[in-house]
Amino acid sequence: MMTSGNLGGSRSDMKITGNGSSNGGSFQHIKIMGEAIINGDTDCDMFKCMGNSEVNGLLHAGSVKVQGEMKVRNELSASSIGITGELSVGGRMAVEKAKITGELQVGSDCQMEEMLVRGTVEVNGMLNAEEAFIKLYGHSHLRELVGGRIMVKKGIGLPFLGKFIPGTEGSLTADTIEGDTIVLENTKASVVRGRSVTIGSGCRIGLVEYIDEFKQDSEASVSQSAKIRL
């Protein structure tokens, strides 16, 4: 069952229960319980889904809450998102606050103010977050991670819809990681650059450049380190 529309030019609600589809547009609230496809660019104050949803266009929302799987074919922008399950964004992603338990895939650059991820992350562009905390479950891949405070911790198992299946330790592979304060575990990176850098157990780093402080765990490998003098 589906109700939608912009009656009299006002922002109405969209509600889909079971299986359904709708054209995009401007809405106040979008609520999905089941499976839904939205065709076209979509703007809303709140997007809430329990099940599977797909937006064939860009999505601009005040808040996004999903339990299940969500795909946005183009860009996603929101004030806040909370995902338990999987989120796939084909284009750029810009969010003020994000809390994700499960899997995040972004096809282009990703910009966040606050980021909390427990699971796996794959970003094909630059991931820029003022505060980034990643608890690794499964294998994550980033090209470039830039932020103010960056913390990457290992977990054990694989994420599935917010639950973690026992298995090997999680890991992160990145080309470059750059921030003010950086703490890493189980991370493989070519270059890590920061003001204060802590390389924890399970890390394999090519080059560490630091301004104030550098610490290395005995179970970490760093090929080269250099203090940057400003």
Q: DSSP for 184-221?
A: ESSEEEEEEEEEEEEE-TT-EEEEEEEEEEEEE-TT-E
Q: How far apart are CA 96 and CA 80, in angstroms?
A: 6
What are the pLDDT digits (tens) for 139-191?
Answer: 999 999 999 999 999 987 655 554 555 667 889 999 999 999 999 999 999 99
Q: How far apart are CA 144 and CA 25, in angstroms?
A: 34
Q: How far apart are CA 119 and CA 104, in angstroms?
A: 8
Collect the ranges in the chain with pLDDT lower than 50: 1-8, 162
Instruction: Look at residue 156 in the predicted model and tell me its pLDDT.
Output: 74
Which residue's structure tokens are 């921030």?
179
CA separation, residue 209 to residues 79, 83, 127, 178, 222 (Å): 34, 34, 20, 9, 11
Q: Output 137-141 pairs: Cβ under 8 A, ≥24 positions apart.
A: 137/164, 137/170, 138/103, 138/170, 139/170, 139/171, 139/172, 139/173, 140/170, 140/171, 140/172, 140/173, 141/172, 141/173, 141/174
117: closest CA among 75, 90, 84, 72? Answer: 84
Residues 181 and 194: beta-carbon distance below 8 Å: yes
DSSP string, 67-88: EEEEEESS-EEEEEEEEEEEEE
Residues contacting residue 101 through CB under 8 Å, at least 6 positions apart: 83, 84, 85, 117, 118, 119, 159, 162
Instruction: Look at residue 167 in the predicted model and tell me its pLDDT.
Output: 63
Q: Which residues pair with 48 in a beta bridge?
A: 31, 65
CA terminus-to-terminus distance, the chain: 63
B/e letters for 51-74, b = 16+ CB within 10 Å, e = fewer, are bbbbbbebbbbeebbbbbbbbbbb
* Whether pTM exceeds 0.85: yes
